[in-house]
Amino acid sequence: MEKKIALVTGATSGIGEACARRFAQGGYDLIITGRRQDRLAEVKAQLEADGAKVLTLLFDVRDRAAATAAVDSLEGRWAEVDVLINNAGLALGLEPEYEGSYDDWDTMVDTNIKGLLTMTRLVVPGMVARGRGHVINIGSVAGDAAYAGGNVYCATKAAVKTLTDGLRIDVADTAVRVTNVKPGLVQTNFSTTRFHGDNERADGVYKGIQPLTGGDIADVAFYAASAPAHVQIAEVLVLATHQASGSVVKRK
Ligand code: NDP
Ligand code: 8X3
């Protein structure tokens, strides 16, 4: 029997890379996407060592023409994506809303909302036509409530929740399932990116608490995809044990 295919956006790092790994270990073949060819090649080699067949697609999810060309280039069984993991995303800055950077706002909105929408628009029609498929969006606890300085990033993740719920309604008459996985603190490149490369400040985010790993989130995504066909894991909030919400973290 042919293996199922999972397409993971932003698989060059963190949660996306861990999801690719978990799905490869769970018997899927993988389409991994990202903007860095060298990292895509390294992740591909790891996944192949786990027994998966792997296709890489190099594009920026903000570039709609490039995303369209990449998805259109898929041939044969590779075009029949079983699981789409919309993971590519980022936070930039932690400034008050009235002092934020216009460029940072545009990047977050274009990536976290419009990039996710583009990938959904490109991949889900095939799922509907085939009568099977699963979309797993990586939302965030940040989408549940704003925290200090989170403003635009939190808004993009609130949008991910609304778009996930909207899609679930729109495909409810098909067998396609839609899941929002909402992590709390996960130690990845996320904070280094948020603080524009300031590693010391990024490390401070995870001081005094054992954060989640990308693997913890990948396990949840894989569980959702592995549930029986009549079970739709609609939304999962996953927090570190000493994190209670987006703004309540108990540190030692
Ligand atoms: P990382 O920075 O480790 O990974 C982000 C991934 O997204 C990278 O592969 C990156 O690729 C990719 N990416 C970013 N922008 C684009 C783009 N324009 N086009 C294509 N790929 C892009 O962070 P995480 O793994 O933590 O983040 C993954 C997702 O998880 C994000 O949506 C984030 O919001 C969400 N999340 C993270 C949490 C955390 O605490 N870490 C908690 C809750 C949610 P590249 O290497 O090319 O930049
Ligand atoms: C990432 C988690 O709390 O840093 O979405 O925003 S948080």
pLDDT tens per residue, range 183-206: 999 999 999 999 999 999 999 999
Question: Which tokens in the block code for residue 81?
Answer: 């994506």
pLDDT tens per residue, range 113-137: 999 999 999 999 999 999 999 999 9
Query: Does ligand 1 have an atom closer than 6 angstroms to the CB of 190?
Result: yes
Could you tell me which of 143, 88, 92, 140 has the C-alpha nearest to residue 116? 88
Q: Which ligand is located closest to the Cα atom of residue 186? A: 1
pLDDT tens per residue, range 10-20: 999 999 999 99
Taking the CA of residue 11 as reference, the ligand 1 atom at the shortest distance is 9
Q: How many residues does the chain have?
A: 252
Given a cut of 90, whether residue 8 has pLDDT beyond it is yes
Question: Which tokens in the block code for residue 216?
Answer: 């913890």
Minimal-distance CA residue to ligand 2 atom 5: 140
CA distances to 61, 120, 209 from 87, rounded to whole Å, are 10, 12, 24
User: How many whole angstroms from 205 Cα to the centroid of ligand 2?
Assistant: 10
Query: Does ligand 2 have an atom closer than 6 angstroms to the CB of 142?
Result: yes
The reported pLDDT for the residue numbered 2 is 86
Q: What pLDDT band is residue 181 in, cutting at 50, 70 and 90? A: very high
User: How many whole angstroms from 194 Cα to the centroid of ligand 2?
Assistant: 10
CA distances to 203, 209, 210, 213, 243 from 252, rounded to whole Å, are 15, 7, 10, 19, 12
| CATH architecture under which domain 5-238 falls | 3-Layer(aba) Sandwich (3.40)
Asked if 2 and 204 touch (Cβ cutoff 8 Å), the reply is no
User: How many whole angstroms from 36 Cα to the centroid of ligand 1?
Assistant: 13
Query: Does ligand 2 have an atom closer than 6 angstroms to the CB of 156?
Result: no
Query: Does ligand 1 have an atom closer than 6 angstroms to the CB of 188?
Result: yes
Catalytic residue annotation: 153
Residue 243's H or E segment, with its range, is: none
Asked if 189 and 85 touch (Cβ cutoff 8 Å), the reply is no
The reported pLDDT for the residue numbered 1 is 74
CA distances to 135, 230, 249 from 184, rounded to whole Å, are 20, 28, 10
Could you tell me which of 133, 9, 20 has the C-alpha nearest to residue 71? 9
Question: Which tokens in the block code for residue 98?
Answer: 């009235």
Intra-chain end-to-end CA distance of the chain, in Å: 50
Minimal-distance CA residue to ligand 1 atom 36: 140
What's this model's pTM, rounded to 2 decimal places?
Answer: 0.98
Mean pLDDT of 164-178: 98
User: How many whole angstroms from 111 Cα to the centroid of ligand 2?
Assistant: 16
Identify the sign of the CA torsion 15, 21, 26, 28: positive
